[in-house]
Amino acid sequence: MSTQDIVLDREGLAEVPVIEPGHTLASVTEKISDIVLVRPLSIGWVAGFLACASLVGVLGVAVGYLFYKGTGIWGINIPVGWGFAIVNFVWWIGIGHAGTLISAILHLLRQSWRNSINRFAEAMTLFAVMCAGVFPLIHVGRPWLAYWLFPIPNTMGVWPQFRSPLLWDVFAVSTYATISAVFWYTGLIPDLATLRDRATTPIPRFIYGALALGWRGEARHWHRYESAYLLLAGLSTPLVLSVHTVVSFDFAISIMPGWHTTVFPPYFVAGAIYSGFAMVLILAIPVRAVYNLKDMITERHLENAAKVMLATGLIVAYGYILEIYMAWYSGPKSIDWFTVHNRFFGPYAGPYWALWICNIIIPQVLWIKSVRRSPFLLFLISLVVLAGMWLERFVIVILSLHRDFVPSSWGMYYPTKWDWATYFGTIGLFLMLIFLFVRVLPMISIFEIRMLLPEAEAKHK
Amino acid sequence: MAQIFHRSLNLYTKASILVALVLGGAAFAGLMAFERSPYITNQGITKPQPVPFSHQHHVAGLGIDCRYCHASVETSAYANIPPTKTCFNCHSQIWTNAAMLEPVRESYRSGKSLVWSKLNDLPDYVYFNHSIHINKGVGCNTCHGPVDKMPLMYQANTLQMEWCLECHRNPEKFLRPRNQVFNMEYKQPTEELPVTVDNVAYTEQEALGKALTAKYHLRNVTDITSCSTCHR
C-alpha cells in the first residue's frame, strides 16, 4: 500500500485509511461477492481443503477408537487425570474470543476499522468454539452420556452439581456459542440478500434466498437490523469477559497448588484475546494475499491487531510474574513455592521456559513499528504466540497435577499418539471449515465496508 | 430476475418458528415419556419361566410366608431363589403327577437347578442389599408391588434411579414396623386404622415414619443419598 494516502480523522490525526481509495459502492460489492459467486475453484483451494479434510478423517479415526476403547488410549492417568482434552479445550475457547471482541466491543466503541475483519473473526470464533466443544463431549469416553453435562430432567432423579464450575462452564460455553452464532447470522443477512440478488444459477439463488429470510433492504428492515445488531453486541460484550473467566474457575475454584489463584480470571481473559488475535492474523494474512484483499484488510488492520496482542501479552506476563511473586511471598516452605520451583527446575522445565520465550519474550518485537507492518513477521509471531498459549494451558494443567501434596502420588504425563491425533484433527476441522467459509459466504461484510466509503459518509450527514 | 421466494412466504417463515417450538416441545415430552415406558423399564411385563409359578396361589391362596422360599432375605444381600428341594417339601406329596410340574421333578431327579428368568434385575453398577431394607422397615411389597395378586411374576416398579431416590430422600414416607414387613395386606395408618408401635397408636404415616426412623437408627438422608451408598 502507499503510505502517501493519508486521511485526517475527526481529531485531525493522520491515519492510514481502513480501505484503500478508489473503491465505489458497486466495486466493493462486486469484489467481495465475486469471490463466492464467480471465482473458479483453484488447485490451491482444493488441495488445501483436501489436506484439512484428511486431518478430519484422522480426527474421526481417533474419536472412533476412543469410543471403542475408552479414555485409556490417552496418556491420562492418576495423578494427571486432565490431559490434552482440557488443554485443547481451553486453547480453542481462548482462540474463539477475538471474534466477539472485534464484532461486539469494537462495534460499541465505534471502531470502524473492525468492519473489514469482523465477519471473518466471527466465523473463526464459531469454528474455534466447535473445535473446543469436541473435547468436553469426547472426554467423557461414553458420548451417549454426554447429555449428563446439561441439566435435563432425567430418570436418575439427579441434576448436575450446580456448585461445580464445570457446570458453569457448560452454561458459559453454550451461551457463547449460541450468541456468537446468532450474532454472526444476523450480520450476514443483508449480505446473503446481496448474494441472492447477484447469483445467476438457481441453486445458489435458492440457498441464499432462503437464508436471507426475505430481506428487501427496506428502511424498516435496516432500522430493525440496526437495533437488533446493537442489542446483540450489548449481549455479547459481557460474554467476552465472562466465558474465559468461568473457564478459569474450573481451575481457580479448586485447591490445587498452581490452580488456586485469584489472578486466573483476568489473565485467562487476556490470554484468550491474545491467542484470538494471533489466530485472526494467521488467517487474515494469507487470505488477503490469496484473494487480493489488501485494499480492504489493510496494514492498519494488521497493525491494530498486533497492538492488541502486545497489550494482552503484557497482561499475561503480569499474571505469570504475579504467580511467582505470590509463591515467594508465601515463604520458602510453602507448597506454592514448591510448585514454582518445580516449574523452574522440575521435569517439565522445558515446556515452562518455552512458554516464557513464546508468550513473553519473542512478542516484545511488536514494539517495533516496522515489525507490526510486516505481514510475514506478524504471521511468524502469531504462530509463536499460539504455540505459547497452548504451552500455557499445558503448564497449568499438567504441571499442577503431576506434583501433588504427597510425594507418593507423584507421576508423569506422556501424551499418546491418540492425544496428538485428536489435537491435530481439530486443527484440520477448524481449517477445513475456514476453507469452506471463504468460498460460500462473503468473508468481508459487504454493506459495512460500503459504509466506510466517502459516498456513504456523505449521505449519512 | 424474479425472486425465487415471493414475499408472501415471509409469513410461513415466521410461522415456522412457532411450529419448531411446538414440535421441539412435543419431541422432548415424547422422549421423557418414552424413557419411562415399559419398553425401556420392563415394568409390568412377565417373562417366560420354566414353570408358570403363581405367587398369587402360593402367597394369597395358601398363605405361605415370603421367607419360606426367600429364606436369606433378612440376613443377606440376596433374597435367594429357593432350591428345587424347597418345592419338593410339598410337591413330593401333592400334584406329584401334574404335567405342569415336570420340569421341577426333572430338576430334582437330575440335580440341575431350574433356571428362572430374573425380573427385578438391577444394573451391575448398583449395590443393593435386601437385609438392610428389611431390617429398617421397608415392606416387601413397597418395592415388589402386590406379589400376592400376581398369577405370573412381573416387575411392579420402574427400578429407575429416580424411583429409588423417591424413598431414599424421604424414607419416613414408606417405613412400617418390622413385624409388618412381610404382611402383604399392610396399610399405612389412618384415623380408622392406627398402627401401634411401642404402645403408641399412630394415625398418620408422617408421625409413624419419624418414630421408626429414630427407633431403627436410620442413617440421615445425606448419607443414604450419597453416590457411593449404592454405586460402590
Instruction: Return phi, psi of residue A14, to 5°.
Output: -70, 130
C-alpha A407: how far from chain center: 38
Q: Which residue has the cell 446483540?
A: A232
A155 to B162: CB separation less than 8 angstroms, yes or no: yes
- A213 chain-B contacts, CB cut-off 8 A: 10, 13
Is the pLDDT assigned to residue B191 strictly greater than 60? yes
Provide the 3-class DSSP secondary structure of residue B177. coil
- Is B87 a member of any domain? no
> Do residue B25 and residue B49 come from a single domain?
no
Interface A-B, measured as beta-carbon pairs within 8 A, has a size of 39
Contact B125/A at CB under 8 A: no
> Do residue B131 and residue B28 come from a single domain?
no
- A216 chain-B contacts, CB cut-off 8 A: 7
Interatomic CA distance for residues A268 and A261, integer angstroms:
11
> Do residue B224 and residue B125 come from a single domain?
yes
> Do residue B160 and residue B222 come from a single domain?
yes
Nearest residue to B203 via CA among B212, B195, B211? B195
What are the tens digits of pLDDT across the range A377-409?
A: 999 999 999 999 999 999 999 999 999 888 998
Neighbours of A354 (CB within 10 A): 15
Count of structural domains, chain B: 2
Interatomic CA distance for residues B148 and B59, integer angstroms:
5
How far A198 CA lies from chain B's nearest CA (Å)?
A: 10
> Do residue B34 and residue B121 come from a single domain?
no
> Do residue B16 and residue B74 come from a single domain?
no
- A208 chain-B contacts, CB cut-off 8 A: none
Instruction: Return phi, psi of residue A250, to 5°.
Output: -50, -35
How far B160 CA lies from chain A's nearest CA (Å)?
A: 6
Interatomic CA distance for residues A75 and A370, integer angstroms:
43
A214 to B10: CB separation less than 8 angstroms, yes or no: yes
Domain that holds residue A142: 7-460
- Is A413 a member of any domain? yes
ipTM value of the model? 0.80
* A300, A17 contact by CB (below 8 A): yes
- Is A20 a member of any domain? yes
- Is A318 a member of any domain? yes
- Is B103 a member of any domain? no
B160 to A158: CB separation less than 8 angstroms, yes or no: no
- Is A1 a member of any domain? no
What are the tens digits of pLDDT across the range B40-92?
A: 999 999 999 999 999 999 999 999 999 999 999 999 999 999 999 999 999 99
* A358, A387 contact by CB (below 8 A): yes
Neighbours of B24 (CB within 10 A): 10
A209 to B165: CB separation less than 8 angstroms, yes or no: no
Mention every residue, 6+ apart, whose C-beta is less than 8 A from residue B108: B84, B85, B87, B88
Which cell numbers hold the place of B30?
Answer: 415424547
Query: How many degrees, rounded to 5, is the angle at CA A367 between CA A363 and CA A371?
Result: 80
B161 to A153: CB separation less than 8 angstroms, yes or no: no
Which cell numbers hold the place of A19?
Answer: 480501505
A157 to B161: CB separation less than 8 angstroms, yes or no: yes
> Do residue B19 and residue B60 come from a single domain?
no
Domain that holds residue B128: 42-81+116-230
Query: How many degrees, rounded to 5, is the angle at CA B58 between CA B57 and CA B62?
Result: 90
Q: Which DSSP string corresponds to B19-86? A: HHHHHHHHHHHHHHHHTTSHHHH-BT-----SS---HIIIIIIT---HHHHSTTTTTSSS--PPPHHH
A216 to B7: CB separation less than 8 angstroms, yes or no: yes
Interface test with B, best of A145, A147, A155 (most B CBs within 10 A): A155
- A155 chain-B contacts, CB cut-off 8 A: 35-36, 158, 160-162
Task: For chain A, 461 residues long, give each residue's pLDDT as a single digit of tens.
Answer: 334 444 444 444 445 667 888 888 888 999 999 999 989 999 999 999 999 999 999 999 999 999 999 999 999 998 999 999 999 999 999 999 888 888 888 888 888 888 888 898 999 999 999 999 999 989 887 888 888 889 998 999 999 999 999 999 999 999 999 999 999 999 999 999 999 999 999 999 999 999 998 899 999 999 999 999 999 999 988 988 899 999 999 999 998 888 999 999 999 999 999 999 999 999 999 999 999 998 889 888 999 999 999 999 999 999 999 999 999 999 999 999 999 999 999 999 999 999 999 999 999 999 999 999 999 999 999 999 999 999 999 999 999 999 988 899 899 999 999 999 999 999 999 999 999 999 999 999 999 888 888 777 655 44
Interatomic CA distance for residues A194 and A209, integer angstroms:
9
- B7 chain-A contacts, CB cut-off 8 A: 214, 216
How far A63 CA lies from chain B's nearest CA (Å)?
A: 26
* A396, A343 contact by CB (below 8 A): no
A206 to B4: CB separation less than 8 angstroms, yes or no: yes
Tell me the three-class secondary structure of A303-344, residue by residue: HHHHHHHHHHHHHHHHHHHHHHHHHHHHCCCCHHHHHHHHHH
Count of structural domains, chain A: 1
Per-residue pLDDT band at B1 (split at 50, 70, 90): low
> Do residue B219 and residue B120 come from a single domain?
yes
Q: Which residue has the cell 522445565?
A: A349
> Do residue B61 and residue B27 come from a single domain?
no
Please give the DSSP secondary-structure letter assigned to residue B5.
Answer: S
Interface test with A, best of B4, B17, B165 (most A CBs within 10 A): B4
